[in-house]
């Protein structure tokens, strides 16, 4: 904790942004040496200003730093600095990496194979379903899913990875001890248990709107590619896509309904050269991850009804495809009574083979 004191102290120092912070660390190797340096030595660092030098040389112990360290320890948070071997390599190589990350959970070397999935907070049924399926498929092949734990697409991206016990990372626009949105507290705990929740903001920082554009550079920075699942023309997801391009990342987009306002942003990306995605395989082939890529045949075999189903259940399952089907259509197509149909659908749901949507409609999981 004593060494971390100076990392936090330098972060709290006037005039020290992310780029200058990295330049200082590159030159002096540690924050402690920076505070011991004289003005002439500090002037050798690229980009540093006279006011920043004065702030460093006039530094005095600050009780706020001690308070921050106590909060980190009491909340079981890990601080991973730029000098740490656990600092994400993808993120280290962007223009303005955060000097350290607050981490709840664990970052691993295999998280280098990561894809960010972002999109609208007010996602459609189509968008959430496509997001969850692609996230689940990528995570099942060993890809880490990165997102922002916001409402809508972000939440479904994390849930898709968690559903197959895959790794996922949530990047917050608040302090790591501030769960936002608050209804995602259970999701927060699940992500921390099967991946990591990270933030660059001090403990207790509220989720102010101006934090999120900066947060987005970390989402794209942690990843090798960014998938925009659904976005309006002014969506914050488009900021993430632009940051991804600036960082040399691949940008992907899922085509949407031409009549939907929520498809305007993704279609704009596609017209600008983003890669069209219909399935996880499109991303896997483009990024050429050296991971557990399942052969296509194995994917197709999972579509067939398992032999444990009786003939009636197999018949109903065959009537349910990838497009939502209403229960009335199942009754007409099978000639079963509504009570029998309901019983079979319940069995299929319990076996995670179908999913009920609003309005008594069903799709395959």
Which residue(s) pair with 195 in the sheet? 168
pLDDT for 136: 94
pLDDT at 2 over 60: no
The tokens describing 196, both together, are 């990591």
Output b/e per residue, 161-175; b: 16+ Cβ within 10 A: bbeeebbbbbbbbbb
CATH for the stretch 109-293: 3.40.50.450
Range 1-73 classified under CATH 1.10.150.20? yes
pLDDT for 30: 93
| CATH code 1.10.10.10 region(s) in the chain | 303-364
Mean of per-residue pLDDT scores for the chain: 91
pLDDT for 79: 97
Confidence of residue 350 (pLDDT cuts 50, 70, 90): confident
Q: Would you give the DSSP letter of residue 362? A: E
pLDDT at 298 over 50: no
pLDDT for 155: 96
pLDDT at 323 over 90: no
Scanning the structure block, which residue is given the tokens 């011991």? 36
pLDDT at 192 over 70: yes
pLDDT at 163 over 90: yes
Q: Would you give the DSSP letter of residue 172? A: -
pLDDT for 303: 41
Long-range contacts of 186-192 (CB under 8 A, 24+ apart): 187/149, 187/155, 187/158, 187/159, 188/104, 188/149, 190/158, 190/162, 191/105, 191/149, 191/158, 191/162, 192/104, 192/105
Give the whole-angstrom CA distance, residue 143 versus residue 114.
Answer: 5
Give the whole-angstrom CA distance, residue 203 versus residue 364.
Answer: 42
| CATH code 3.40.50.450 region(s) in the chain | 109-293
Range 303-364 classified under CATH 1.10.10.60? no
pLDDT tens across 76-124, in order? 999 999 999 999 999 999 999 999 999 999 999 999 999 999 999 999 9
SS3 at position 326: strand
Confidence of residue 290 (pLDDT cuts 50, 70, 90): low
Tell me the average pLDDT across 8-31.
96
Tell me the average pLDDT across 319-335.
86
């Amino acid at each position: 904790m004593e060494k971390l004191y100076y990392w936090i102290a330098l972060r709290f120092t006037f005039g020290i942004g992310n780029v200058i912070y990295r330049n200082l660390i590159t030159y002096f190797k540690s924050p402690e040496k920076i505070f011991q340096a004289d003005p002439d030595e500090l002037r050798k660092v690229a980009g540093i200003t006279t006011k920043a030098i004065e702030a460093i040389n006039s530094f005095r112990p600050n009780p706020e730093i001690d308070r921050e360290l106590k909060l980190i320890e009491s909340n079981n948070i890990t601080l991973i600095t730029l000098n740490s071997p656990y600092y994400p390599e993808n993120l280290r190589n962007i223009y303005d990496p955060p000097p350290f990350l607050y981490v709840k959970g664990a970052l691993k070397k295999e998280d280098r194979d990561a894809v960010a999935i972002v999109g609208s907070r007010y996602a459609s049924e189509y968008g959430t379903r496509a997001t969850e399926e692609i996230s689940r498929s990528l995570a099942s092949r060993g890809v880490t899913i990165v997102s922002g734990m916001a409402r809508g697409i972000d939440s479904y991206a994390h849930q898709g990875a968690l559903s197959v016990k895959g790794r996922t990372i949530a990047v917050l626009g608040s302090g790591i001890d501030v769960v936002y949105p608050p209804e995602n507290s259970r999701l927060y705990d699940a992500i921390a248990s099967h991946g990591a929740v990270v933030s660059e903001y001090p403990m207790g920082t509220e989720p102010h709107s101006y934090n999120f554009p900066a947060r987005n550079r970390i989402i794209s920075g942690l990843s090798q590619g960014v998938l925009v699942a659904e976005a309006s023309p002014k969506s914050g997801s488009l900021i993430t896509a632009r940051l991804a391009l600036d960082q040399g990342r691949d940008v992907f987009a899922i085509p949407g309904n031409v009549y939907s306002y929520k498809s305007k942003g993704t279609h704009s990306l596609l017209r600008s050269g983003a890669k069209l995605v219909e399935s996880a395989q499109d991303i896997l082939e483009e990024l050429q991850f050296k991971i557990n890529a399942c052969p296509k045949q194995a994917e197709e075999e999972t579509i067939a009804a398992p032999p444990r189903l009786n003939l009636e259940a197999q018949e109903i399952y065959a009537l349910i495809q990838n497009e939502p089907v209403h229960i009335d259509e199942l009754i007409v197509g099978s000639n079963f009574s509504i009570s029998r149909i309901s019983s079979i659908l319940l069995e299929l749901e319990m076996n995670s083979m179908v999913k009920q949507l609003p309005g008594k409609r069903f799709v395959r999981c």
